[in-house]
Structure 1
Amino acid sequence: MRLALFNDGRLAIVDGEDLIDVTEHLTTGDPGAAGALHQHIENVARGGAARTEPAGLTGLPRIPLSDAVLEAPLPRPGKIIGAPVNYLDHKAEMEYTTTVADLGVFLKANSSVIGPGQDIVLPYTDKRTDQEGELGVVIGRTAQHVGVDEALDHVFGYTCVLDITVRSGEDRSTRKSFDTFTPIGPWIVTADEIPDPDSLGLRCDVGGTTRQRTNTADLIFGVRELIAYTSSVMTLHPGDVIATGTPAGVGPIGHGDRVVLEIERVGRLEVGVDGSEAVPYTQRPGRRAR
């Protein structure tokens, strides 16, 4: 099942070329900034979700997908967790001496999320900003010190994530947390649709040219290992998102570019790039003369 947010936070099941509006069927009250899908994930974790079988959806409004404005399925996840250097080919291209096994994971600000069709806003005119296409794992059950064999039992679903990165000297969490630096979408595919997340084709294009092409089978820490490791460091809660790492092919994005990430069995996420308000790096707030 594919679940999406659309048209000012309404919740839908994607059914072919239509959206079935299940906002009133699957949510209660105001879901707040985290959004209706986040509320639904929490309801599922508590065992209190409404039925979503086709028989239970008869008579609900249907909207052509072409007429809807899709939004980030999780506009404010509790945590966004990144896995640095989780493909060997990316390690080689960046000339890193370490991998995720040495570095552990990092956090991105949840305020950096945008959805399909929105723009990545470049902060600097003179610092390279790169695209990084990644499989996103959405946690569905609280996970703390879970084992590799049980890790997938804690997954709600999967989505596309672009981990946008400024190549400057700050810590990863700073360089990757600018507003708009975490496009997510176009929807979440529930875990039952993807029995093996470590066998998915991934492709990322910028300006119509393919830059990244891989299979998640090449991850250093596969999805199971990544969940197990991360849950040994921090408790994972329903609605948290793990970005599993990017393969070789990262490169600069510029004003007017279109960035497209496609992941097999998950979906296609497309966003734009806006550099119209970028400033020189030396003009950033807080700079001090040396």
Structure 2
Amino acid sequence: MGEVLMRLVTYDDGRVGYVTGDRVVDLGGLLVGGYTVPGTKSAMRRLLERWDQVRKALPAPAPTNSVPLASVRLGPPVPDPTKIVAAPVNYRDHRSEMAMTVDISDLAVFLKAPSSLLPHGGVVRLPYSDRRVDQEGELAAVIGRRAHRVSEADALGHVAGYTACLDITMRGGEDRSTRKSFDTFTPLGPWLVTADEAGPCDDVDLECVVNGEIRQKTNTRSLIWGVAKLVSYVSSVMTLEVGDVIATGTPAGVGPIAAGDEITVTLSRIGTLAVTVASDERGPSPTGTRRR
């Protein structure tokens, strides 16, 4: 199938579809029981669980099963991962700009709250008036097969596909998982491009732009730990479930963001994630007087 048939989206009230041209084709018919099955899993997670079985049976676009892309409200591609795992200091140039002597090989990974997810077109809300908040553009991998202690050689076979991510980060002395888990601090999207369509995950161009200025520009070949090593390692610590997200780390060019800013992350062969920034107007932070 062509590339446009592999851009999977969650849209409107939890529906799933694929994007072809300027239309979204609904895939609810591929879900056992359709959208009406009670339970806690999103339609996207249910679709990914069956993807190997249904991928060759995608319906062709027709007036009865598709709507204009411009008319839908996109959600995060996977709105309910059981976990978001993130890689700290996974580019050497970022380690240098942060003046750190350690990287992912020393720090391993950390978790972000799934409640921090934000869709394409959403608004990042800055929590406090006295804290610096930075943008961090990243490639994110989405798990497509349950992974428990998988080898590096087999790891990519457990990846459903890739999407763009922003790891929004408040600076301070609190634990990473706190500073990076505020509501709206994990924009994800606009869609999930399946692994076969996205091409080699170790050769993806990444560009992050704030208000028209390029802040970050790299290729994932510069990752310290590539996607395969990340999936293998994380699966040796915690079982990865279908729909779980691994944010692979950010390159140099991290910088402060402010209310009114417009941020985009563009990944070659995958797409562009765009968000804006606003203040939550809570006043000063009640925590963290050190290491600001």
Unaligned runs of 5+ in 1: none
Aligned partner (choices 155, 165, 171) of residue 169 of structure 2: 165
Q: Which residue of 2 aligns with 1:190?
A: 194
Deviation at 1:52, TM superposition (A): 4.4
Contact 2:128 / 2:280 at 8 angstroms: preserved in 1? Answer: no
Deviation at 1:53, TM superposition (A): 3.8
Aligned partner (choices 9, 12, 17) of residue 7 of structure 1: 12
User: Does the alignment pair 1:257 with 2:261?
Assistant: yes
2: distance between equivalents of 1:203 and 1:58?
32
Contact 2:163 / 2:188 at 8 angstroms: preserved in 1? Answer: yes
1: distance between equivalents of 2:39 and 2:69?
24
2: distance between equivalents of 1:210 and 1:31?
45
Deviation at 1:114, TM superposition (A): 1.0
1: distance between equivalents of 2:226 and 2:73?
33
1: distance between equivalents of 2:135 and 2:72?
26
User: Does the alignment pair 1:63 with 2:91?
Assistant: no
Q: Which residue of 1 aligns with 2:235?
A: 231
Aligned to 1:202, what secondary structure does the other structure show? strand
1: distance between equivalents of 2:259 and 2:152?
42
Structure 1, 268-277 or 209-218: larger mean CA deviation: 268-277
Contact 1:159 / 1:189 at 8 angstroms: preserved in 2? Answer: yes
Q: Among all aligned residue pairs of Structure 1 and Structure 2, give the percentage whose two residues are the same amino acid.
A: 51
What letter matches 2:93 in structure 1? D
User: Does the alignment pair 1:36 with 2:43?
Assistant: yes
Q: Which residue of 2 aligns with 1:22?
A: 27
Q: 1:33 to 1:118 in 2, by over 3 A?
A: farther
2: distance between equivalents of 1:146 and 1:62?
38
2: distance between equivalents of 1:85 and 1:175?
15
**Aligned runs of 1:136-155 on 2, under 5 Å?**
136-155=140-159
Structure 1, 13-22 or 239-248: larger mean CA deviation: 13-22
Q: Which residue of 2 aligns with 1:111?
A: 115
2: distance between equivalents of 1:38 and 1:113?
15
1: distance between equivalents of 2:27 and 2:237?
36
For each residue in 1:103-129, what CA deviation from the matched residue of structure 2 results, as whole angstroms up to 9, or x when unmatched? 001011111001011111111111100
For each residue in 1:130-159, what CA deviation from the matched residue of structure 2 results, as whole angstroms up to 9, or x when unmatched? 011100000111111211111111111101
Aligned partner (choices 195, 210, 218) of residue 214 of structure 1: 218
Contact 2:120 / 2:273 at 8 angstroms: preserved in 1? Answer: yes
1: distance between equivalents of 2:234 and 2:130?
34
TM-score, scaled to structure 2 = 0.91
Unaligned runs of 5+ in 2: 1-5
1: distance between equivalents of 2:81 and 2:216?
26
2: distance between equivalents of 1:105 and 1:123?
24
Structure 1, 90-99 or 222-231: larger mean CA deviation: 222-231
Q: 1:278 to 1:251 in 2, by over 3 A?
A: farther
Aligned residue pair count: 281
TM-score, scaled to structure 1 = 0.91
Contact 1:198 / 1:216 at 8 angstroms: preserved in 2? Answer: yes
Structure 1, 79-88 or 17-26: larger mean CA deviation: 17-26
User: Does the alignment pair 1:134 with 2:157?
Assistant: no
2: distance between equivalents of 1:220 and 1:245?
9
2: distance between equivalents of 1:256 and 1:34?
35
Q: Which residue of 1 aligns with 2:94?
A: 90
Contact 1:34 / 1:74 at 8 angstroms: preserved in 2? Answer: no
Contact 1:34 / 1:75 at 8 angstroms: preserved in 2? Answer: no
Contact 1:159 / 1:187 at 8 angstroms: preserved in 2? Answer: yes
Q: Which residue of 1 aligns with 2:270?
A: 266
User: Does the alignment pair 1:176 with 2:180?
Assistant: yes
Contact 2:199 / 2:269 at 8 angstroms: preserved in 1? Answer: no
Contact 1:26 / 1:50 at 8 angstroms: preserved in 2? Answer: no
Aligned to 2:50, what secondary structure does the other structure show? helix
